[in-house]
Amino acid sequence: MKVIRRKTLAAASALTLGIGLAVTGGLAPAASAAGPETTYLVLAPQGAKTDRAAARVAAADGTVVARYDQIGVLVARSANPRFTTAVAGAGVDSVAATAGLGTALEEGETVEVPAADAVRTTADATAEPLFAQQWDMPMMRVPQAHAVNAGSPDVVVGVLDSGISSTHPDLASQIAKDKSASCVGGVADTTEAAWNPTTSDHGTHVAGTIAAAVNGVGVTGVAPGVKVAAVKVVNDDGYIFPEAAVCGFIWAAEHGMQVTNNSYYIDPWEFNCRNDARQRPVWQAVQRAIRYSASKGVLNVASAGNSNVDLQHKTVDEGSPNNGTPETREINSACLDLPAEAPGVVTVSAVGPTGEKSYYSSYGQGVVEVTAPGGDTRFRTQGARSTTTDAILSTTFNTATRTNGWGYKQGTSMSSPHVAGVAALAVSAHPGMNPGQLAAFLQNTAVAKPCPAGVYNPVPLFSAADPHLYDATCSGGARNGFYGAGMVDAYNVVR
């Protein structure tokens, strides 16, 4: 039996260089409102309009705060404790409260270092002040790709995350402000302050990996010629709620984005089970949003997760929810990691500087499409200690001092934006590809990586209590559970 326990990434996974830059039918009678205001996803039948559902919301003492007619989904709020039963009926397919369904974004600790090395004048990507520490870029042949095509400004990557610092010197010129918004609460807010980071620099780090400018400062992104759009889906408490993700996918679809990056999972339960009455509406709403975005030309890229889980074989989850006391529950093929396991999403595992699977990266034959650098700070010491520079260097924002900088983080959260960046290069070089063609192109141009023999565990010293904590077994041949079709290759997609 495969037991899944949520694992935590090693400490010292983030290092920041702070430089202080300024930078319808009969309606049920409503019950009297007598409880805390709660947010709900209300779904009309597939393909139906939301008018009848909206009428039922109003009759149940609720308010529609966002209406996504494109996919038949409403975001509603109500203080009626019987709202779920009161709103049910003709015109409503399903409904679920999202209270308690927010999942925490994983963050790493920050270690500040002197910033002098981050500033130097150069116009050469390989001579950006911190490029020598970006071991991830040569691994994907990014320098060779830049010599051919560094990306088109007509290509926009939506960063569904915690916001992007609009004053960061490596990102200020790279952000498509007219396409940026906060989706926190399920309602789009286009004010610049709303989509900037408040309590997390995760989105700023992701954005730098995708498109940090070649400007003589800091680092270079995989596709410095493209634009990124901040689509904030993480609230100030560090949680992603389903309504925010739905809003994010629809926003990207309606604002001409070709790619989105999704370094998170939806729901504090690591796996969303379609056979669970409460979780099913979340699955339906998110899946509708993803399908709609794909129909509008968006390729969605997502991280596989950091639990060292074989996503192809999962039976028991003991590590969820992550916003309360973990419980044990049986899971099966109806239980999926969202958005990573949603159909049509490119799922990415992580490797470290050796090119081998990072100790924490989840995997799975038929689940992982490709792999990319995500960092592995423990492989050198077999898990005993961290080596920070073996993580991924990118742009950061110190939320305490409100200053911009550069620093290290690791996780599949970091591998996914590498793939989003390569996808942006591919669209730049070969405009007109639809999402399915683009996903296939990324896989067909990837460099295959074979499975390691036997049981794989690069960090046996990570836990004295359980030296087998990070054991993993790879299955498959040229396309396998650890690496999918292989390492994405930036040069291959542009030449």
Split at pLDDT 50, 70, 90, the class of 23 is: very low
**pLDDT of 21 above 80:** no
Please provide the average confidence, as pLDDT, over all residues in the chain: 87
Domain ranges of the chain: 3-21+104-494, 38-90
Which DSSP letter does residue 28 get?
A: P
Q: Report which of 314, 282, 305 is spatially closest to residue 186, judged by C-alpha positions.
A: 282
Q: Report which of 483, 455, 452, 474 is spatially closest to residue 313, judged by C-alpha positions.
A: 474
- Taking only the tens place, the pLDDT of each residue in 168-189 is 999 999 999 999 999 999 999 9
pLDDT at site 106: 54
Q: Report which of 411, 414, 430 is spatially closest to residue 258, judged by C-alpha positions.
A: 430
**pLDDT of 155 above 80:** yes
**pLDDT of 108 above 80:** no
Q: Which residue has the higher pLDDT, 51 or 275?
A: 51
390 Cβ contact partners less than 8 Å away, ≥ 6 residues apart: 135, 352, 353, 375, 376, 377, 379, 380, 410
Split at pLDDT 50, 70, 90, the class of 22 is: very low
| 116 phi and psi angles, rounded to 5 deg | -55, -35
Pairing label, strands 370-373, 345-351: parallel
Split at pLDDT 50, 70, 90, the class of 237 is: confident
464 Cβ contact partners less than 8 Å away, ≥ 6 residues apart: none
Task: Examine the residue annotation and report whether 202 is marked as an active-site residue of this protein.
Answer: yes
pLDDT at site 25: 36
Percent over 70 (pLDDT), the chain: 81
- Taking only the tens place, the pLDDT of each residue in 227-236 is 999 999 999 9
Split at pLDDT 50, 70, 90, the class of 102 is: low
Structure tokens at 288: 């509708």
Of the residues 78, 146, 180, 202, which is catalytic?
202
- pLDDT (average), residues 306-333: 73
- Would you state the CATH architecture of domain 3-21+104-494? 3-Layer(aba) Sandwich (3.40)
pLDDT at site 188: 97
- pLDDT (average), residues 9-29: 36
pLDDT at site 327: 67
- Taking only the tens place, the pLDDT of each residue in 39-53 is 999 999 998 899 999
**pLDDT of 16 above 50:** no
**pLDDT of 395 above 70:** yes
- pLDDT (average), residues 52-69: 97
- pLDDT (average), residues 103-112: 52
Task: Examine the residue annotation and report whether 313 is marked as an active-site residue of this protein.
Answer: no
Of the residues 94, 413, 415, 416, which is catalytic?
413
| pTM of the model as a whole | 0.90
**pLDDT of 14 above 50:** no
- pLDDT (average), residues 73-101: 93
pLDDT at site 415: 98
Of the residues 61, 136, 161, 376, which is catalytic?
161
Q: Report which of 17, 103, 16, 105 is spatially closest to residue 411, judged by C-alpha positions.
A: 105
Split at pLDDT 50, 70, 90, the class of 243 is: very high
**pLDDT of 374 above 80:** yes
Q: Report which of 365, 325, 369 is spatially closest to residue 343, judged by C-alpha positions.
A: 369
- pLDDT (average), residues 402-414: 95
pLDDT at site 105: 61
Q: What angle do CA 204, 206, 209 make, to 5 degrees?
A: 110
Task: Examine the residue annotation and report whether 78 is marked as an active-site residue of this protein.
Answer: no
pLDDT at site 449: 98
Split at pLDDT 50, 70, 90, the class of 119 is: low
- pLDDT (average), residues 253-257: 98
**pLDDT of 7 above 60:** no
**pLDDT of 390 above 90:** yes
Give the range among 261-270, 336-345, 479-488 with minimum mean pLDDT.
Answer: 261-270
